[in-house]
Amino acid sequence: MAKVKNFFRKIGKWFSAHRPTKRRLIQLYAALLTNANVKGFATGKIYQGATKNLCVPGLNCYSCPGAIGACPLGSLQNALAASSTRAPAYVFGIIVLFGLLLGRTICGFLCPFGLIQELLYKIKTPKVKKSVFTRVLSYFKYVLLVLLIAIPLIYASVPAFCKFICPAGTLEGAIGLLSNPNNADFFAMLGGLFTWKFVLLVAFIVASVFIFRFFCRFFCPLGAIYGFFCKIALLGVKLDKSKCIDCGLCLKTCKMDVKRVGDHECIQCGECLSVCPTKAISWKGSSLFVHASSAEAVFAPAEEPRPLGALLAASATEDRTDAPDSECAATLDVSETVGATSGECVQEPVFVDAEEGRETVETDAPRRGRAFWLRLCAICCAGIVLLAALVYYNFFSSGWGGVVLKEGERCTPFTLELYQTANENTVFSIEASKGKVTVINFWETTCDPCVEELPYFEKVNREYNGEIVMVAVHSTHVTEPVQKFIDKEDREKNKESWSEYTMMMAVDREDVNAYEMLGGKGAYPITVILDQEGVITCIRQGKMPETELRAEIIKAMG
């Protein structure tokens, strides 16, 4: 019996020693909430509902099967590319709002990819400590902000960071989709670009095991943007210089490349609060919502003990004189406590017990009570929100609000607007195409397999010379002006402008979402062929070879 008790006691001690901190729980909560479409991981499909028009605060890929919102960095690039010279007010506004409210608190508490890096760093290996070299390298993300976002978007309308670098997109989006057996046909669509991004992702993952938040510190443009708001953000950590004794414990504890508490490299994690011997570091903005003492109790991180801070505090107490400061004693009937070597006098009210004739110090019991109820209320509200999101996205939302058609079913009628090409039509209509075999190809300008197959689609369309209807439908996720892309000449494999194509070039609409309706699962290209009656005879996910295209057209003709 004693052995059983000891066994369970050891288990209890292990769980007590390894229990997650408040910040870790918030990180896990935020990651689950922003990826509440859990069924997406089972079905291998991207959620395309209404909330995908909204940005989440952290770096979380739009193409992640669980994502219920859009990545702010991807949305910024997408909006800038699509708007050409006009500033996209919505995306700029939402990022500025996030920055003003939270700053880099988003990095420390709400970013799913930041959580992934921290978990990788927990793997027991020799670690690379921060140094002057890492501090200099931390400015490289600002260089990327200009070189891979601003310049490519301004001069070429290319979302270079998302297309060539972003490891969150590769891990959450590409691998998240490829790991599902339902998307086995996606492997045929992979090319050199995916190989490059996969190698880059592996490098980031390996580096994150040895270097704390490797991508976050040196490469993340979103963190660079939020860093501009650190000093003026409503929430975060702040330093009271009047209490600071320049002991340097906060900087030694911090794993980021900060020069001072709360600067542009600070992710506002709050770990420095527990090591400060003079309590010079606190949460700013908390007094707007709750009593200051309650805020401390709720938001203070439950980290490991701070032996160095305790030693400094003890040393400061021992060095002071036993006699009370005459000036302080003369003004108030108080008992004195000294919290810093600066000699600052910190007073606590003293009450005299009339019956016993002894002095008693006011307790914080009422304040602790308020903190407890505040914490309980916050936990309950957060739990309700998370539960509601999980129930809604996994049981009540179909992803885009419509029915997904399959082979053998009649295509629902819809109409799409066309880009300018040699074709004289201005709209594409399913109803108007009846009587002919219809080939619908869904594509994106950033999809290499899409761009490679469209020239021979046009070749087949010309050979049939009006006997079939062929349309290339661009997704609603516009990453550069499509008309500009169509008009571009002297392509490597197609020495003419696509504006001379006889096939129609349309754009999908969010209210129609023909891509989802016709079986799209989150990746491009996809080809759908209808017979003369509008019945679906073929749904081909991935690049369709020319021989297969011809064979399916003949099959649809009967």
Secondary structure string (H, E, C) spanning 329-374 = HHHCCEEEEECCCCCCEEEEEEEECCCCCCEEECCCHHHHHHHHHH
Radius of gyration, CA atoms only, the chain: 30
- Are 57 and 111 contacting, i.e. CB atoms less than 8 angstroms apart? yes
Task: With a cut of 60, say whether residue 367 has pLDDT above it.
Answer: no
Structure tokens that stand for 122 in this block: 């927990």
pTM of the predicted model over 0.75: no
Task: With a cut of 70, say whether residue 356 has pLDDT above it.
Answer: no
Q: Which residue has the higher pLDDT, 492 or 263?
A: 263
Q: What is the pLDDT of residue 478?
A: 63
pLDDT bin (cut points 50, 70, 90) of residue 287 is low
pLDDT tens digits for range 417-474: 999 888 888 899 999 998 999 999 999 887 778 888 999 999 999 999 889 999 999 9
Pairing label, strands 526-530, 504-507: unpaired
Q: Report d(CA 174, CA 194) in Å as an integer.
A: 8
Which residues, other chains included, contact 310 with Cβ-Cβ below 8 Å and sequence gap of 6+? 277
Task: With a cut of 70, say whether residue 276 has pLDDT above it.
Answer: yes
Checking phi first, is residue 235 left (phi over 0); if not, alpha (psi -120 to 50) or beta?
Answer: beta
Listed range (160-169, 431-440, 531-540) with the worst mean pLDDT: 160-169
Q: In this structure, how many other beta carbons lie within 10 angstroms of the beta carbon of residue 521?
A: 20
3 state DSSP class of 512? coil
Helix%, strand%, coil% for the chain, nearest 5: 50, 10, 40
**Proportion of the chain above pLDDT 70, given as a percent:** 78
Q: What is the pLDDT of residue 351?
A: 42
pLDDT bin (cut points 50, 70, 90) of residue 309 is very low
pLDDT bin (cut points 50, 70, 90) of residue 368 is low
Structure tokens that stand for 557 in this block: 């003709």
Q: What is the pLDDT of residue 535?
A: 94
Task: With a cut of 50, say whether residue 306 has pLDDT above it.
Answer: no
Q: What is the pLDDT of residue 28?
A: 95
- Are 342 and 245 contacting, i.e. CB atoms less than 8 angstroms apart? yes
* Residue position matching structure tokens 């005299």: 352
Residue 440: name the closest of 354, 529, 333, 325 by CA: 529
Mean local confidence (pLDDT), 73-102: 77
Cis peptide before 366 (omega within 30 of 0): no
Task: With a cut of 70, say whether residue 311 has pLDDT above it.
Answer: no
Listed range (31-45, 142-156, 372-386) with the worst mean pLDDT: 142-156
Task: With a cut of 60, say whether residue 308 has pLDDT above it.
Answer: no
Q: What is the pLDDT of residue 546?
A: 93
Q: Report d(CA 203, CA 339) in Å as an integer.
A: 46
| Helices and strands (DSSP H and E) totals, the chain | 25, 12
**CA distances for 358 relative to 164, 237, 304, 322, 365, angstroms:** 73, 40, 37, 20, 20
The 8-class DSSP code of residue 217 comes to H
Task: With a cut of 90, say whether residue 126 has pLDDT above it.
Answer: yes
**CA distances for 411 relative to 438, 440, 441, 496, 517, angstroms:** 11, 11, 14, 33, 9
Checking phi first, is residue 490 left (phi over 0); if not, alpha (psi -120 to 50) or beta?
Answer: left
Structure tokens that stand for 519 in this block: 């079986």
Q: What is the pLDDT of residue 155?
A: 58
Task: With a cut of 60, say whether residue 163 has pLDDT above it.
Answer: yes
Q: Report d(CA 235, CA 110) in Å as an integer.
A: 13
| Domain residue ranges in the chain | 19-227, 322-362, 415-557
The 8-class DSSP code of residue 89 comes to H
Which residues, other chains included, contact 367 with Cβ-Cβ below 8 Å and sequence gap of 6+? 291, 293, 294, 297
Q: What is the pLDDT of residue 512?
A: 86
pLDDT tens digits for range 184-239: 877 877 878 889 999 999 999 999 999 999 999 999 999 999 999 999 999 999 99
Exposure string of 23-61, with b = 16+ CB inside 10 Å and e = fewer, is bbebbebbbebbbbbebbbebbbbbbbebbeebbbbbbb
Listed range (100-109, 112-121, 323-332, 525-534) with the worst mean pLDDT: 323-332
Structure tokens that stand for 470 in this block: 């062929």
Q: In this structure, how many other beta carbons lie within 10 angstroms of the beta carbon of residue 445?
A: 23
Mean local confidence (pLDDT), 388-406: 80
Task: With a cut of 60, say whether residue 337 has pLDDT above it.
Answer: no
Q: Report d(CA 467, CA 474) in Å as an integer.
A: 23
Q: Report d(CA 533, CA 68) in Å as an integer.
A: 37
Q: What is the mean pLDDT of the chain?
A: 81
Which residues, other chains included, contact 511 with Cβ-Cβ below 8 Å and sequence gap of 6+? none
Q: Which residue has the higher pLDDT, 19 or 322?
A: 19
Q: Which residue has the higher pLDDT, 322 or 472?
A: 472
Which CATH architecture best describes the domain 415-557?
Answer: 3-Layer(aba) Sandwich (3.40)
Q: What is the pLDDT of residue 101?
A: 93
Listed range (149-158, 279-288, 420-429) with the worst mean pLDDT: 149-158
Mean local confidence (pLDDT), 526-540: 93
Mean local confidence (pLDDT), 497-514: 87
How distant is the alpha carbon of residue 139 from its chain centre? 21
3 state DSSP class of 429? strand
Q: What is the pLDDT of residue 288?
A: 53
Q: In this structure, how many other beta carbons lie within 10 angstroms of the beta carbon of residue 78?
A: 22
